[in-house]
Structure 1
Amino acid sequence: MEFKPYPFSAKKYAAKVPQLDNGIEARRHAVTIVGGGPVGLTVALGLANHGVPSVLIEADDSVCYGSRAICISRRSLEIIERLGAADGFLKTGLPWAGGRSFYRDTEVLHFKMPQDEDQKLPPMVNLAQYHIEQFLLDAAEKKADLIDIRWQTRVTSIDSRADGCTLNLATSEGPYSLNTDWVVACDGGRSTIREALGLQLKGTSYEGRYVIVDIELESDRPTERLAYFDPSSNPGSTVLVHKQPDNVWRIDYQLRDGEDAEQAVKPENVIPRVQSLLDMMGERGDWSPIWITIYKANALTLESYRHGRVLFGGDAAHLVPIFGVRGANSGIDDADNLAWKLAFVVRGLASGGLLDSYSAERVFAAHENLSYGTKSTEFMAPPSFAFDLMRKAVLSLAIKHECVRSLINPRQTSAITYTASPLNAAETEPGAFTRGPVPGAVLPECPLTIVEGGNASAAHLTDLVTPCFTALYFSEDGRVPAQFSALEETLQGETLPFKVIPLTAHLHPETRRDHNWDHTGRLFAMFGAKPGTVYLVRPDGHVLGRWHAAAAADITAAIHHALHT
């Protein structure tokens, strides 16, 4: 059986060397991002949204080869939409909302992720990493004035100082160095920057190994996550199957103890196992292998994501097991958290301490993700006889007892609430809110109607999140108190991005004021809000503070506390 090329063909990019002065780039940069994968591109786009330029260093000459990360969550789609890159994700990606698990030949779980009429985006889309990178790259190329991508450029060493860094680079056109105020390391699990600084990931590495295979197969089977425990095609192991765009299917199957990894990835050993799986699934169509690799689960993280002028994100900062699809999604969340904070520091709007909150929040998130990822890994690939015995008992009982089926659920990724963030504004009215997102939580979704100049259009609450601090003012009639209008003018005069947005429970066309109407009648209740309630939202969509009777001074204090904590 011959290997087929991917239906997707990546454009190749040449190396370029800037103007040099004695081997050093003449221009000093504000931000240099190392690694042009999903996380690095997301950081670059996030900075560009705030008007901050960056240089992006990428060792390869194109987007990646192989499916790699394949599941993009609703939260990641929300972030990507704010970056202006979501169209390709939504047009090409295959949406799904649940999955099925089988024990031998019996279905033991049919799970569904949260999806209701409030949502604009699907819970998850399947999209191979080469598509993910390409769509982000397309958006970055539209902002070439702010994002300078250097292909075929590899970091050979770094000199990190209190006032910035020097990166020594190798290209096919010759070596050179550049000076930069900040380095963002998004250079993957084998991070050159992490190694150069002598930093180590800490946590657990699991013995279980998975072969990952991409195949081309035409099938009308619906898109959902399929998990097979102890299947006839691979007895004693676990197999995961995901449908992707372009008739590409991703298959992950666990190697049994004692199997030689080098032999296991040889096509003559992979092809019979895949054929056996497809036969078991009832897929009779012709198929061809495209890509084969091997994976080992790790649950590891740095203890801090900030080291002076160097900041870490994505796999360079943490390695999360694939179960629950937290890898790329947590990296995109890292990028979203970091971009606005670094932009505010670069623009002189915040102290460097704001970047310490990036580390605090995202290390907390990593431990949350690792906790869930570890539980899923111990079920999917039991690390000991005791875990294997427990799994067999759960799977056997699940055939007849619905109450134990939740133990099989892979606990898909979800947005993290920064409950202990140093940025959160203290609740001045304890117990006053019986509902609504707490400080540190992501803004929940809800449909609304935007009324501008007498014209109404359908929208969603997250459409109101832009690269600034946003005060959502729950208004009786669309009016905003004079003190808040004055605050908006004052902060904008200080070049601090801020706006007040009124939300109303009723349509008020007669006021001829622009406002946002809760036409479903759910928004006010969802937020536990009444006229006069204010939710202050960060540029990344997390709630900074909330009040039932806020004064302009409360808003000012919360923002200045966050920026200069």
Structure 2
Amino acid sequence: MHQPTTQARPSIYYPYQVHAPWLASQHPAQGRHPVVIVGSGPSGMVTALELARHGVASVVLESELQVSQGSRAIVFTRRSLEILQQVGVAQRMMDNGLPWRFGNSYYRGQRVFRMEAPHDADDRFFPMLNIQQQYMEEYLFDACQAEPLVDFRWGNKVTQVTQDASGATLEVDTPEGPYTLHADWVVAADGGRSGIRTALELQMEGASYEGRFVIADIRIDLPLPTERLAFFDPDWNPGNTVLMHREPHGIWRVDYQLPENETPEDALQPAALAARINALLAQIGHGDKPWEMDWSSVYSARTLTLPDYRHGRVLFTGDAAHLLPIFGVRGANTAFQDAQSLGWHLAFAVKGIASAALVDNYSRERVGAAREIIEESGKSTRFMTPPTRGFRLLRDAVLSLSLSQEFVRPLYHWRTSRPHEYTQSMLNSPGDDNALFKAGPAHGAPPQNIRLSANDYLLDHLGGGFDLLYFTEAAAVPEALQSVVNAARAKGVPLRVTAVGASAPVAGADQTLADADGHFRARYGVPASGAAYLLRPDQHVCARWLTLDATRLQAALNHALPQ
């Protein structure tokens, strides 16, 4: 029998709650479920909440009885917060996190590069927000618990998965013994050591890097702003890299690279940790400050992905699908994008709005995203942890030149995680006017948020299905367009029409957003009335037109929903 620990995880700042296990004897006999999600990390819970937004029930199985140990992911991007806004937890993240936008790189005591993340009045969220993963998981669990379509089961460990053409059967162990669960689809969100990936004998492609980092969270009172700090080749850790981030509750994250000959076991000894942390604090002029350890671990950079995220009726997401370096905050932030994409693709297939080919598109798009991230993050990783003598010579030359030469300093940029643009998606309309636009989000791009009033933004009004942004100052949406919209809705396609530009409500539109100064139209590259954008349920653009008619709208919907 599976016996997860009932002892609360230790922490000096986070009050871990141990939940009661879900036991089959206390519930009715199990039927067949549309979706079973294995794992309750960021990708698992966001997938469940996204499915629920589209009206699809799921079961979430978590082998432990509490949220994850240690702060783990701590930096969340603007796009992640936009995704979390859709599932109802972004405000709690903002209320309790630390927003920031600057990063600093130091070499030989000199700041040689300062990164400034873009931020303007149209952005509801800051470029980055620091908050420990335990809180994020707590907020997501609370949202799952409040959602009737999510059946969350603590203390349930999957031991076996078998499948056929119509579904999968899972053997699940609990503190009272095993039971069997049947599902149409299984989502493997069970992390970097995915048991389902191992059981299916699947191999990832990519590279693993030799450099190891200690990750340590300490409580200390430092009079420093919430900005990323990176130190290259410090005297106390020659040839290596050190990172620092402020977290809520007086916690600081310290990441430092280990010398090649030091084992993780030796590095995590209390004396070794204390010596390194004290040396870092002395370097930044705060060696006299008392500090307390909360959590530590060892990490090595990997750039790996499965070549396909669909294997029969099993779909992979998050770290179960790919392993990405922490440099550039790519782990959990990529998982949120996976989950948002998987949620709508799978929901539409389950509900019969589109065929299973749509699920294959999830895999195709997100594998492409992972490979783009691997290419980008590989550059950062090779700079942070040079894998060969040649790379080290090049990196050291950049370090030396950066003391006096401005042109090399941008090479310090850590290539922050950004939302993938599905430029080559099979869902993008081939017959629209994408190539004719001079501005605005293009094919496959996420939407540009627009500030509508003091605390009202475009993305507050979108989500839950397809969104048609129709730019008009007329009193009504043309009847021919309304007919296409109504026909799509009659087939079960969630499609909302937003009229942009008119000062009064527009007949045939579900909502009207005024644009008296033309700012919205300018940001979206719209020169005149009659233009439009079609956004997928994950808000990425799949079509845009300078002039829209019923035939073109119908063609775009048909293309985005393969039958």
Answer whether TM exceeds 0.5 for this pair. yes
**Contact residue 340 and residue 538 of structure 2 kept, 8 A:** yes
1:209 Cα shift?
0.4
Q: Residue 97 of structure 1 aligns with which residue?
A: 101
Q: Residue 531 of structure 1 aligns with which residue?
A: 529
| DSSP 3-state at the match of 1:175 | strand
**Contact residue 306 and residue 356 of structure 1 kept, 8 A:** yes
Q: Residue 436 of structure 1 aligns with which residue?
A: 440
- CA change 1:400–1:523 in 2 (3 A) is same
**Contact residue 118 and residue 127 of structure 2 kept, 8 A:** yes
Q: Residue 217 of structure 1 aligns with which residue?
A: 220
Q: Is 1:484 the equivalent of 2:481?
A: yes
Q: Residue 254 of structure 1 aligns with which residue?
A: 257
Aligned partners of 1:426, 1:358: CA distance in 2, in Å? 19
Q: Is 1:421 the equivalent of 2:419?
A: no
Aligned partners of 1:520, 1:365: CA distance in 2, in Å? 36
| Gapped regions of structure 2 (runs ≥ 5) | 1-8
1:104 Cα shift?
2.3
**Contact residue 465 and residue 540 of structure 1 kept, 8 A:** no
**Contact residue 205 and residue 305 of structure 2 kept, 8 A:** yes
Alignment of 1:262-281 (within 5 A): 262-281=265-284
Q: Which amino acid is the alignment partner of residue 243 of structure 1?
A: R
After TM superposition, the structure 1 stretch with the greater mean CA deviation from structure 2, 395-404 or 33-42, is 395-404
Q: Which amino acid is the alignment partner of residue 438 of structure 1?
A: A
- CA change 1:138–1:9 in 2 (3 A) is same
Q: Residue 3 of structure 2 aligns with which residue?
A: none
Alignment of 1:458-537 (within 5 A): 458-477=455-474, 479-504=476-501, 507-508=503-504, 515-519=512-516, 521-529=518-526, 530-537=528-535
Alignment of 1:50-449 (within 5 A): 50-143=54-147, 145-283=148-286, 284-429=288-433, 431-449=435-453
Post-superposition Cα deviations, 1:540-560, rounded to whole Å, max 9, x if no partner, equal 010010111212232222222
Aligned partners of 1:138, 1:347: CA distance in 2, in Å? 26
After TM superposition, the structure 1 stretch with the greater mean CA deviation from structure 2, 400-409 or 276-285, is 276-285
Q: Residue 552 of structure 1 aligns with which residue?
A: 550
**Contact residue 478 and residue 515 of structure 1 kept, 8 A:** no
- CA change 1:27–1:441 in 2 (3 A) is same
Q: Which amino acid is the alignment partner of residue 328 of structure 1?
A: A
**Contact residue 104 and residue 114 of structure 2 kept, 8 A:** yes
**Contact residue 478 and residue 502 of structure 1 kept, 8 A:** no
| DSSP 3-state at the match of 2:416 | coil
Q: Residue 33 of structure 1 aligns with which residue?
A: 37
Aligned partners of 2:551, 2:431: CA distance in 1, in Å? 15
Q: Residue 454 of structure 1 aligns with which residue?
A: none
Aligned partners of 1:204, 1:431: CA distance in 2, in Å? 36
Aligned partners of 1:520, 1:74: CA distance in 2, in Å? 26
| DSSP 3-state at the match of 2:46 | helix
**Contact residue 37 and residue 59 of structure 2 kept, 8 A:** yes
Q: Which amino acid is the alignment partner of residue 537 of structure 2?
A: P
Q: Which amino acid is the alignment partner of residue 499 of structure 1?
A: R
- CA change 1:478–1:415 in 2 (3 A) is farther
Aligned partners of 1:156, 1:523: CA distance in 2, in Å? 52
Q: CA RMSD in A?
A: 2.0
- CA change 1:218–1:477 in 2 (3 A) is farther
1:508 Cα shift?
4.2
1:464 Cα shift?
2.5
Post-superposition Cα deviations, 1:191-233, rounded to whole Å, max 9, x if no partner, equal 0110111101111010000011010112231101110001123
Give the TM-score normalised by the residue count of structure 1: 0.94
**Contact residue 506 and residue 512 of structure 2 kept, 8 A:** no
- CA change 1:343–1:234 in 2 (3 A) is same
Aligned partners of 1:255, 1:169: CA distance in 2, in Å? 40
Aligned partners of 2:151, 2:209: CA distance in 1, in Å? 39
1:485 Cα shift?
2.5
| DSSP 3-state at the match of 2:177 | coil
| Gapped regions of structure 1 (runs ≥ 5) | 450-456
Aligned partners of 1:19, 1:162: CA distance in 2, in Å? 30
Aligned partners of 1:19, 1:357: CA distance in 2, in Å? 39
| DSSP 3-state at the match of 1:149 | strand
**Contact residue 127 and residue 244 of structure 1 kept, 8 A:** yes
Aligned partners of 2:26, 2:94: CA distance in 1, in Å? 42
| DSSP 3-state at the match of 2:370 | helix
1:518 Cα shift?
2.2
Q: Residue 5 of structure 2 aligns with which residue?
A: none
| DSSP 3-state at the match of 2:242 | strand
**Contact residue 131 and residue 248 of structure 2 kept, 8 A:** yes
Aligned partners of 2:268, 2:174: CA distance in 1, in Å? 32
1:520 Cα shift?
5.0
| DSSP 3-state at the match of 2:537 | coil
1:25 Cα shift?
5.2
**Contact residue 158 and residue 168 of structure 1 kept, 8 A:** yes
1:483 Cα shift?
2.0
**Contact residue 475 and residue 505 of structure 2 kept, 8 A:** no
Q: Which amino acid is the alignment partner of residue 412 of structure 1?
A: T
Aligned partners of 2:131, 2:542: CA distance in 1, in Å? 32
**Quick one: which of 11, 14, 17 aligns to 1:11?**
17
**Contact residue 314 and residue 331 of structure 1 kept, 8 A:** yes
| DSSP 3-state at the match of 1:246 | coil
Q: Which amino acid is the alignment partner of residue 208 of structure 2?
A: S
Aligned partners of 2:409, 2:517: CA distance in 1, in Å? 35
Aligned partners of 2:434, 2:463: CA distance in 1, in Å? 29
- CA change 1:269–1:527 in 2 (3 A) is same
Q: Residue 453 of structure 1 aligns with which residue?
A: none
1:153 Cα shift?
1.1
1:257 Cα shift?
1.3
After TM superposition, the structure 1 stretch with the greater mean CA deviation from structure 2, 3-12 or 99-108, is 3-12
After TM superposition, the structure 1 stretch with the greater mean CA deviation from structure 2, 352-361 or 518-527, is 518-527
1:489 Cα shift?
2.6
**Contact residue 188 and residue 316 of structure 2 kept, 8 A:** yes
Give the TM-score normalised by the residue count of structure 2: 0.95
**Contact residue 161 and residue 171 of structure 2 kept, 8 A:** yes
Aligned partners of 1:230, 1:13: CA distance in 2, in Å? 45
**Contact residue 25 and residue 177 of structure 1 kept, 8 A:** no
| DSSP 3-state at the match of 1:220 | coil
Aligned partners of 1:178, 1:551: CA distance in 2, in Å? 48
Number of aligned positions between the proteins: 552
Aligned partners of 1:133, 1:214: CA distance in 2, in Å? 18
